[in-house]
Structure 1
Amino acid sequence: MSYKKNTAHVVMAFVLSVFAIQVAAQPGRGNAQPAPSAFQSASTSKADALVPLPVNANGEIISNSPNIPAPVVTKHSITVKGQVINYTATTGYLQLRNEDGKPKANIFFTAYTKDGVANKNKRPITYTFNGGPGSSSVWLHMGIMGPKRVLFADNGDLLPPPYSYVDNEYTWLDKTDLVFIDPVGTGYSRAVTGENEKQFYGYVEDIQSMGEAIRLYSTKYERWNSPKFLAGESYGTTRASGLSDYLQSKYKFYLNGIVLISSILNMQTARFDIGNDLPYPLFLPTYTATSWYHKKLPADLQSKPLKTVLKEVEDFALQEYNIALMKGSDLTSAEYETIVNKLSRYTGLSKDYIRQTNLRINIQKYDKELRRNEGLTVGRLDSRYTGRDYNDVGDQPEFDPSNDGTISGPYSAALNHYVRAELKFKNDLSYEILGGRVSPWNYNNVQNRYLNVAEDLRKAMSRNPYLKVWVLCGYYDLATPYFAAEYTFSTMGLRPEQRKNVNFTYYEAGHMLYVHKPSLVQTKKDADKMYDDVLREINAAPAK
């Protein structure tokens, strides 16, 4: 589905706004400007000098050493759409150093490159990462893009442990080389001994270190002249959008495309703070989709296709509901009751409960309330999943059944076995899948306001008219709702020629849309089209 512009979104621009997915900017200090990057390559002789890396008694790598080893290289093959693809897997570290050549951090990466490519200048390369902040790249690596994928039931249901993974026939490797990068504090990436990891834990700091890692890989492996893409999920879309401008501005490193999976660029769209009414209408369509899935809507809505129902709800959210929230206590009793009735109709929650929320249902309350009478909660990352708390009181779930109760175990088991057993990379560290190691995250660059990287992406698209943006949305994603992503792109000030470079696609899945087999299959088709379209444009350009 192509980018769509809804003029009614303009109304939303007047709403007071705040937030982020896990964070709010800290008040009280002036706006800090991003500092120049402290990370530079040492001279060729220093940067490329490889010395034996210290190992433990079992011969396993100690990854916070100031010395980096030669990467581990293995050979593999996979069949995609009937074609056998031979490829090389490379695992190792990219070392960040200051201008004096002093090591600062070791960034772990896993790269897959197709063998037998005569001209790398025509072979796309995609730099990939997840979000959090605090997440490794395992989810995109072994969920959707890489040559192996974690095995779930086709509908996304969890299979019993010890879990397993299989060849990923839907890998993107037939279209692009892939580099999965773990930010410092995630995966096996660490600051070197004597360096404080907190210097990497922040929006600006992360953009600088990840930007340097991408530049280093592109330089060492001679990929500057390849068609270049970034792909991120969740906060990784925040990172990718920030990097789009940073890479172009600092290194003159121009991209061909950005893939935003479960997008969150304007953090003000997802924080349920008092005084910020923006998230309520933006989350409402996903509440409706969830209630439709769990069969909690009135019969007339329940009998309609999901997309038909969502169109009706989107119109209500942008107009009546949005205006009602803006009017606040100036609403008449009749107007108030009209909104109560419609919110109850579109969520399946009782009218009494809607009144108790004062027309403002936040995500945690919704997740707890929808199926409370059955003793069930619904998931945040994927609202198709249900969980069961210790008891049925309280206003929020004890845990996210679509995360802690479903996906974490299989991905952790798969990655830890696969990297050691098949990629032959031995390490004694715990692979940090997703955790609080990087907390707290520094947002000093946005004091007294919330992070909005949509402007960084807009600037990158303005300077690079060939930059394509693909936004992938799951209807059951309550972490980064699709309607909030649409709002962000509708209000970021794109010119008509730039809007043509944005494409939205939608899936009946959640935040990790690839655990749903039909969505995984469709995503592969959509990815093929994106890469083919970009390469077609490159090849059609007049020769100089």
Structure 2
Amino acid sequence: MFLPWRSHRSSFVLLTVAAISTSFSPFTIAQDKPDEKPVSTASAAPAHAATTPDSITEGTVTVGGQPIAYRAIAGTLTVGGTDPQDATLGFDGKPLPDSGVKLPEKAEDAPPTARMFYVAYLKKDAPAGQRPITFIYNGGPGSPTMWLHMGTFGPKRIVTPDTQHQEGAPYSIVNNEDSLLDVSDVVFIDAPGTGLSRTFGKNKSEAFYGVDADGHAFERFIRRFLSKYDRWNSPKYLFGESYGTPRSAVLAADLRSVDLNGIILLSQILSFDNSVDGPTANPGVDQAYALALPTFAATAWYHHKLPNQPPALKPFLAEVEKYALGDYMTALLQGSDLTDAQRQAVAEKLHSYTGLPVDYLLRADLRVTGGEFSKELKLDEGMTTGRLDSRYQGPDADPMGATSGYDPQSDAITSAWNTAINQYLHDDLKYATQATYLLSGRQGGEFSWNMTHTPPGRGFGGGGSAPGTVETGANVMPDLAYRMKMNPKMKVMLAGGYYDLATPYFEGIYEMHHLPMPRGLQSNISYHYYEAGHMIYVREDILKQFHTDVAAFIKSTENGK
């Protein structure tokens, strides 16, 4: 999930290049609370800080009428900031006895390490070496995995009213009849610096906070997990949501000599040029407006704001998609060469698809960002619609603002999820820690995300970058394509919601059809879209269908076919 935009067209996001990276256009952050004040942790622990002991509990969850007994392991694995350094560390995070490494006395002088928190659910009495295992994580960057952990496939989940802001605690935490444990063991992972994961040592921000650094950290974690629990021969899956989708692309490319059976991408963005949050900061690159148009149309349809309401959503969206990549994109590409008559015709067509006033569309030069759309759609009612899930709505926060300024869905559900993860960790998993569960990487201090990226090289068996490869901005489409070419049996499942303005569904489809790989590999990709938002699992009926689809995906690929 991405953070809301600001109320100014020219500064529409809460984080810009200056805040995250000096090398890429502005973008917003997934499932991350922006207003938390950083807490300095530069000298929070000695170089050899003791870890909280793992907690192992047992439970049973019923899925499809069948009880499944499982073992839950809540703990940490420590990874190094570089491959050579990582090779000197044991499972406990300390240097191996024969490594010859001696840690300095001061924490700030130690090499960077990340203590990554995870909860693994392993079915009891199952042949572990053959049972599928799925590694699951949220995005941000800077978000913990409490959203997927307490909302999708674990044995417990939080229940909140759909499209409504619950009054407050107590919240309902129930046995999850849609847990994925019927077909796969699952491992929920908090990214470095989020949740209960922590970073230590010198230059820790550079070592773990960036597109490439983050991918390497997850790669090292997965290799360590496979060794610690003897799961190297298990069918393996990656599941990432939001920024977790570019992480999955980078991670898949980094996992050299580890063939994955499949990747599940929920609410995808692989190229940040396609984000409708910030195209005004990237003039001349207009496709983000076209890719967001079907989501604008779906939202206007849901709220009955269209001048002529179509009876069904999906046929209507098919028509809008065709227009978006056809006449609309052609008009945008013409720029100032577009005649007044053509501009008027496009504005009237956009009005019929979005419900926005013609004069507003003309003043916007036919280009409307996500935050502007959320602000304008129900302005006459004094309401703003959601970004993560545009079915949600809330009072207009700033009558004079140009954009919505906040996200109604984020404010509606964050407190419930925060309560659920903390209560569940303490009461059910018995994980004895006094540490604060961080809802944002910024709470830990020193969080500055590097958006530069070196794509995998071509023709190099090790999978590294070719000499002279140019570092690019955050477009990891080459990474996913690289792994699909190197492992042509690997399958990809793309999923999302029609009402997602953070990562519009048509954007994900567009990216998949533009992966730089042989056309024949397109058959390895399946598409699953639902009448929900960014976090499709907030709707219980959608979660049930999503479980069915993911379970079928795993069953069809676990034998490597």
TM-score relative to the length of structure 1: 0.84
Q: 1:116 aligns with which of 120, 125, 150?
A: 125
For 1:151, the aligned partner's letter is V
Residue 449 of structure 1 and its aligned partner are, at CA, apart by: 4.9
Residue 27 of structure 1 and its aligned partner are, at CA, apart by: 6.0
Q: Does 1:126 align with 2:134?
A: yes
Q: 1:83 aligns with which of 66, 72, 94?
A: 66
Residue 518 of structure 1 and its aligned partner are, at CA, apart by: 1.8
Q: For 1:16-165, what aligned pairs fall within 5 Å after superposition?
A: 66-97=49-80, 98=85, 99-100=87-88, 101=95, 104-117=113-126, 119-153=127-161, 155-162=162-169, 163-165=171-173
Q: For 1:41-440, what aligned pairs fall within 5 Å after superposition?
A: 66-97=49-80, 98=85, 99-100=87-88, 101=95, 104-117=113-126, 119-153=127-161, 155-162=162-169, 163-192=171-200, 196-248=204-256, 252-270=257-275, 271-272=278-279, 273=281, 274-299=283-308, 302-403=309-410, 405-434=411-440, 436-437=442-443, 439-440=447-448
Contact preservation (8 Å) 1:120, 1:223:
yes
Alpha-carbon distance between aligned partners in 2 of 1:449 and 1:369, rounded to the nearest angstrom: 35
Contact preservation (8 Å) 2:271, 2:475:
yes
Q: 2:511 aligns with which of 476, 488, 492?
A: 488
Q: Does 1:441 align with 2:446?
A: no
Per the alignment, residue 497 of structure 2 pairs with: 474
SS at match of 2:120: strand
More deviation, 199-208/472-481: 199-208
For 2:419, the aligned partner's letter is A
Contact preservation (8 Å) 1:62, 1:428:
no
SS at match of 1:79: strand
Residue 426 of structure 1 and its aligned partner are, at CA, apart by: 1.8
For 1:83, the aligned partner's letter is Q
SS at match of 1:529: helix
Residue 448 of structure 1 and its aligned partner are, at CA, apart by: 8.3
Alpha-carbon distance between aligned partners in 1 of 2:519 and 2:343, rounded to the nearest angstrom: 38
Residue 501 of structure 1 and its aligned partner are, at CA, apart by: 0.8
Contact preservation (8 Å) 1:290, 1:476:
yes
Alpha-carbon distance between aligned partners in 1 of 2:523 and 2:15, rounded to the nearest angstrom: 31
Per the alignment, residue 500 of structure 1 pairs with: 523
Per the alignment, residue 518 of structure 1 pairs with: 541
Per the alignment, residue 8 of structure 1 pairs with: none
Contact preservation (8 Å) 2:21, 2:448:
no
Give me the CA root mean square deviation.
Answer: 2.3
For 1:367, the aligned partner's letter is S
Which of structure 1's runs of 4+ aligned residues deviate more than 4 A?
A: 20-29, 61-65, 446-449
Alpha-carbon distance between aligned partners in 2 of 1:140 and 1:314, rounded to the nearest angstrom: 29
- Closer, same or farther: CA 390–280 of 1 in aligned 2, 3 Å: closer
Alpha-carbon distance between aligned partners in 1 of 2:139 and 2:293, rounded to the nearest angstrom: 24
More deviation, 510-519/194-203: 194-203
Residue 156 of structure 1 and its aligned partner are, at CA, apart by: 4.4
Residue 160 of structure 1 and its aligned partner are, at CA, apart by: 2.7
For 2:251, the aligned partner's letter is L
Residues matched between the structures, number: 481
TM-score relative to the length of structure 2: 0.82
Alpha-carbon distance between aligned partners in 1 of 2:544 and 2:358, rounded to the nearest angstrom: 40
Alpha-carbon distance between aligned partners in 2 of 1:467 and 1:390, rounded to the nearest angstrom: 46
SS at match of 1:122: coil
Per the alignment, residue 479 of structure 2 pairs with: 456
Contact preservation (8 Å) 1:228, 1:255:
yes
Contact preservation (8 Å) 1:28, 1:448:
no
Alpha-carbon distance between aligned partners in 2 of 1:226 and 1:449, rounded to the nearest angstrom: 34
SS at match of 2:78: strand
For 1:369, the aligned partner's letter is E
More deviation, 412-421/184-193: 184-193
- Closer, same or farther: CA 21–223 of 1 in aligned 2, 3 Å: farther
Residue 372 of structure 1 and its aligned partner are, at CA, apart by: 0.9
Alpha-carbon distance between aligned partners in 1 of 2:46 and 2:159, rounded to the nearest angstrom: 29
- Closer, same or farther: CA 176–164 of 1 in aligned 2, 3 Å: same
- Closer, same or farther: CA 21–286 of 1 in aligned 2, 3 Å: farther
Residue 238 of structure 1 and its aligned partner are, at CA, apart by: 0.7
Q: Deviations 1:83-114 (Å, cap 9, x if unpaired)? A: 01000000011012424436722111100000
Contact preservation (8 Å) 1:381, 1:402:
yes
SS at match of 1:402: helix
Per the alignment, residue 6 of structure 2 pairs with: none
- Closer, same or farther: CA 65–173 of 1 in aligned 2, 3 Å: farther
Alpha-carbon distance between aligned partners in 2 of 1:200 and 1:452, rounded to the nearest angstrom: 19
Per the alignment, residue 47 of structure 1 pairs with: none
Q: Deviations 1:121-159 (Å, cap 9, x if unpaired)? A: 320000111000000011111111111111123x34343
Residue 335 of structure 1 and its aligned partner are, at CA, apart by: 1.1
Alpha-carbon distance between aligned partners in 2 of 1:284 and 1:357, rounded to the nearest angstrom: 14
Alpha-carbon distance between aligned partners in 1 of 2:554 and 2:358, rounded to the nearest angstrom: 48
Contact preservation (8 Å) 1:237, 1:260:
yes
Q: Deviations 1:273-301 (Å, cap 9, x if unpaired)? A: 222211000000000000000100022xx
Contact preservation (8 Å) 2:291, 2:324:
yes
SS at match of 2:290: helix
Report % sequence identity: 39
- Closer, same or farther: CA 206–176 of 1 in aligned 2, 3 Å: same
Alpha-carbon distance between aligned partners in 2 of 1:357 and 1:75, rounded to the nearest angstrom: 57
Alpha-carbon distance between aligned partners in 2 of 1:149 and 1:534, rounded to the nearest angstrom: 27
SS at match of 1:407: helix
SS at match of 1:186: coil
Residue 455 of structure 1 and its aligned partner are, at CA, apart by: 0.7
